[in-house]
């Protein structure tokens, strides 16, 4: 206890140097915590977005994840409703679940034949009411307030497309999509070279045709037997999907319409059963129970289970990238703190050489001298960590209430910028302990040098 008191008094002997060292440690600790909180915000945002769209777990036909994009209809689950009922009624799974819903992936060619344009599209059919429930999941209080899907309350032949699809299909004006090229204007009137009687018949034929909606498109897809099937769809909205590659091909529709398009009069199927849990931490338990359920009640059916991280590789890649950046920044700041504290301790050793010799002459052993300087470094680390945590909490709170917005990866809309420091116990404790460890290591070399001093040489030091 006396050593700790003596170490604290020694730090106060040169307040300016001690404050400078503390300032460096506080800035380092605050920087690490703020970036760590920013990384957590990205993690929570990505997870919230993916879970709202694809759920926590999905039951799929075996190998659909690897090969299903080429031919989704070949990997349909015929007994999907029976599986959904069994999952909802299971005593273990039921308390964990918020939504269980089927989806059907579709691909084909969407055409606006009135304008003579078409393009390949990929999307899916879903039960819109269930999709709206999926979007309510927000276990981390991420500042996102999703609105009901545009297909809510629409007719069965309605669809939503990406803004990139709308541009290609020349539906910008009726769907109010910005940044669209204008279609080429005709320089010669259509019937200028026709005889008057034929031109009159052509005009009469046009007026006799029923009016077609400006947002009506045709969707051509291969049915389960390989024959082409066409469905007329009324596009109710063009929505930005966040990723341009997806935005340029996306189409969404009601599940019943997608099933009619792919399976016609045959038995309707689903390519995935989406399950959303109360909490992400329940994934291992829910997955284990699902595997048992599929191995017993649905034994023999080629089914497999995937979690949202497997279904969305971008999530894992982003988490690993920010973890690597965080480690790199922590390493740099740790090196700066190490050299700062080491320099402070080394100067203290030089200035107190005579004092060290006096203490040794009075009977203090080498271990006592070493402990004295190590405790000084540790005290600097403890004080710097405490102040750094408090400063980071204050700065994160100020940022969270500043009204600043940004667009997270994978999002199409801006959301308030938030830094998650408060409540991140592992981040706070880990950063504080790391700073204290660096401070102790920084003091070790000067402390060893002080402990190895010869008493006579130290006493006659000028």
Task: Work out the average pLDDT over 19-23.
Answer: 87
Q: Which of 307, 259, 270 is nearest to 102 (CA)?
A: 270
Looking at the structure, do residues 9 and 76 belong to the same domain, yes or no? no
More confident: 403 or 132: 132
Tens digit of each residue's pLDDT (9 = 90 or more) over 152-166: 999 999 999 999 999
**Lowest-confidence pick of 232-236, 333-337, 385-389, 457-461:** 457-461
Looking at the structure, do residues 176 and 243 belong to the same domain, yes or no? yes
**Please, which pLDDT band fits residue 208 given cuts at 50, 70 and 90?**
very low
Tens digit of each residue's pLDDT (9 = 90 or more) over 22-35: 888 899 899 999 99
Looking at the structure, do residues 235 and 281 belong to the same domain, yes or no? yes
Range of the domain at 75: 63-186+215-301
Looking at the structure, do residues 172 and 295 belong to the same domain, yes or no? yes
CA-CA distance, 10 to 371, in Å (whole number)? 13
Task: Work out the average pLDDT over 203-229.
Answer: 68
Per-residue pLDDT at 226: 66
Task: Work out the average pLDDT over 185-196.
Answer: 49
Looking at the structure, do residues 268 and 149 belong to the same domain, yes or no? yes
Per-residue pLDDT at 1: 67
Tens digit of each residue's pLDDT (9 = 90 or more) over 331-350: 998 888 888 888 888 877 77
Q: What is the pTM of this model?
A: 0.79
Looking at the domain assignment, is residue 353 inside a domain? yes
Tens digit of each residue's pLDDT (9 = 90 or more) over 85-108: 999 999 999 999 999 999 999 988
More confident: 134 or 67: 134
Task: Work out the average pLDDT over 205-216.
Answer: 58
Q: Which residues, listed in sequence order, are joined to residue 92 by a DSSP beta bridge?
A: none
Answer whether 154's CB lies under 8 Å from 131's CB: no
Percent of the chain whose pLDDT exceeds 70: 90
Residue after which a domain boundary falls, among 238, 266, 301: 301
Looking at the structure, do residues 16 and 162 belong to the same domain, yes or no? no
Per-residue pLDDT at 132: 94
Task: Work out the average pLDDT over 372-386.
Answer: 86
Looking at the domain assignment, is residue 197 inside a domain? no
pLDDT at 207 exceeding the cut of 70: no
Number of domains in the chain: 2
Task: Work out the average pLDDT over 367-393.
Answer: 86
Looking at the structure, do residues 334 and 415 belong to the same domain, yes or no? yes
Looking at the structure, do residues 154 and 274 belong to the same domain, yes or no? yes
Token pair in block for residue 29: 């600790």
Looking at the domain assignment, is residue 357 inside a domain? yes
Residue after which a domain boundary falls, among 301, 335, 366: 301
More confident: 101 or 176: 101
Spatial neighbors of 247 by CB under 8 A, at least 6 apart, are 162, 163, 164, 165, 240, 241
Per-residue pLDDT at 99: 95
Q: Strand, helix or coil at 137?
A: coil
Task: Work out the average pLDDT over 203-212.
Answer: 48
Find tokens 């069965």 and name the residue. 156
Looking at the domain assignment, is residue 202 inside a domain? no
Looking at the structure, do residues 221 and 163 belong to the same domain, yes or no? yes
**Please, which pLDDT band fits residue 211 given cuts at 50, 70 and 90?**
very low
Residue after which a domain boundary falls, among 269, 301, 333: 301
More confident: 315 or 222: 315
Looking at the domain assignment, is residue 335 inside a domain? yes
Tens digit of each residue's pLDDT (9 = 90 or more) over 230-282: 888 999 999 888 778 888 999 999 999 999 988 887 888 999 999 999 999 99
Q: 227-251 in b/e burial notation, b at 16+ Cβ within 10 A?
A: eebebebebbbbbbbbeeeebbbbb
pLDDT at 109 exceeding the cut of 80: yes
Looking at the domain assignment, is residue 195 inside a domain? no
Looking at the structure, do residues 252 and 351 belong to the same domain, yes or no? no
Looking at the structure, do residues 394 and 436 belong to the same domain, yes or no? yes
Answer whether 216's CB lies under 8 Å from 168's CB: no
CA-CA distance, 1 to 5, in Å (whole number)? 6
Looking at the domain assignment, is residue 198 inside a domain? no
Per-residue pLDDT at 187: 45
CA-CA distance, 446 to 373, in Å (whole number)? 8
Q: 110-123 in b/e burial notation, b at 16+ Cβ within 10 A?
A: bbbeeeebbbebbb
Looking at the domain assignment, is residue 92 inside a domain? yes
pLDDT at 203 exceeding the cut of 60: no
**Please, which pLDDT band fits residue 304 given cuts at 50, 70 and 90?**
very high
Token pair in block for residue 456: 């006579």
Token pair in block for residue 272: 């995935």
**Please, which pLDDT band fits residue 14 given cuts at 50, 70 and 90?**
confident
Looking at the structure, do residues 171 and 231 belong to the same domain, yes or no? yes
More confident: 211 or 125: 125
Tens digit of each residue's pLDDT (9 = 90 or more) over 422-453: 888 899 999 999 988 988 888 888 888 777 77
Find tokens 């989406």 and name the residue. 274
Task: Work out the average pLDDT over 74-88.
Answer: 90
Task: Please count the helices (runs of H) and the strands (runs of E) in the chain.
Answer: 17, 11
End-to-end CA distance of the chain: give it in Å, rounded.
31
**Lowest-confidence pick of 27-36, 179-188, 205-214, 299-308:** 205-214
Q: Measure Cα distances from 57 to 52, 86, 135 in Å.
A: 11, 15, 15
Mean pLDDT of the chain: 84
Q: Give CA torsion, residues 15, 17, 19, 25, to 10 deg.
A: -150
More confident: 126 or 362: 126
Per-residue pLDDT at 201: 45
């Amino acid at each position: 206890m006396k050593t700790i008191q003596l170490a604290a008094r020694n730090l106060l002997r040169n307040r300016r140097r001690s404050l400078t060292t503390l300032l460096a440690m506080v800035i380092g600790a605050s920087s690490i915590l703020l970036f760590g909180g920013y990384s957590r915000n990205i993690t929570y945002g990505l997870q919230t977005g993916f879970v709202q769209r694809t759920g926590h777990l999905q039951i799929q036909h075996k190998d659909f994840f690897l090969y299903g994009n080429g031919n989704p209809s070949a990997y349909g689950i015929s007994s999907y409703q029976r599986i959904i009922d069994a999952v909802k009624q299971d005593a273990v799974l039921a308390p964990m679940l918020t939504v269980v819903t089927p989806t059907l992936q579709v691909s084909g060619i969407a055409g606006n034949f009135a304008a003579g344009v078409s393009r390949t599209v990929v999307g899916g059919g879903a039960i819109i009411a269930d999709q709206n429930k999926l979007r309510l999941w927000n276990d981390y209080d991420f500042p996102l307030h999703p609105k009901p899907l545009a297909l809510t309350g629409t007719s069965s032949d309605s669809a939503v497309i990406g803004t990139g699809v709308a541009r290609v299909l020349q539906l910008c004006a009726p769907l109010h999509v910005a940044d669209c090229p204008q279609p080429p204007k005709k320089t010669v009137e259509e019937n200028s070279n026709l005889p008057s009687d034929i031109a009159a018949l052509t005009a009469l034929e046009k007026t006799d045709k029923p009016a077609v909606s400006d947002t009506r498109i045709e969707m051509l897809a291969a049915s389960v037997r390989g024959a082409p099937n066409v469905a007329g769809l009324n596009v109710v909205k063009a929505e930005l999907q966040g990723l341009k590659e997806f935005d340029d091909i996306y189409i969404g529709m009601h599940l019943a319409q997608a099933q009619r398009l792919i399976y016609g009069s045959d038995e309707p199927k689903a390519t995935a059963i989406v399950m959303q849990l109360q909490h992400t931490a329940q994934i291992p338990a829910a997955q284990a129970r699902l595997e048992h359920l599929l191995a017993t009640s649905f034994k023999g059916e080629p089914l497999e289970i995937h979690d949202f991280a497997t279904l969305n590789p971008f999530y894992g890649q982003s988490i690993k990238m920010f973890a690597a950046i965080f480690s790199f920044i922590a390493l740099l700041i740790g090196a700066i703190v190490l050299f700062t504290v080491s320099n402070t301790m080394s100067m203290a050793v030089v200035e107190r050489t005579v004092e060290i010799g006096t203490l040794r002459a009075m009977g203090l052993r080498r271990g006592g001298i070493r402990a004295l300087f190590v405790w000084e470094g540790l005290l600097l680390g403890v004080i710097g960590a405490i102040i750094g945590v408090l400063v980071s909490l204050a700065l994160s709170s100020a940022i969270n209430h500043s009204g600043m917005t940004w667009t997270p990866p994978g999002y199409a809309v801006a959301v308030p910028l938030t830094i998650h420091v408060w409540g991140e116990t592992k981040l706070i404790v880990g950063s504080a302990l790391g700073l204290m460890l660096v401070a102790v290591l920084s003091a070790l070399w000067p402390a060893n040098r002080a402990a190895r001093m010869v008493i006579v040489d130290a006493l006659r030091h000028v």
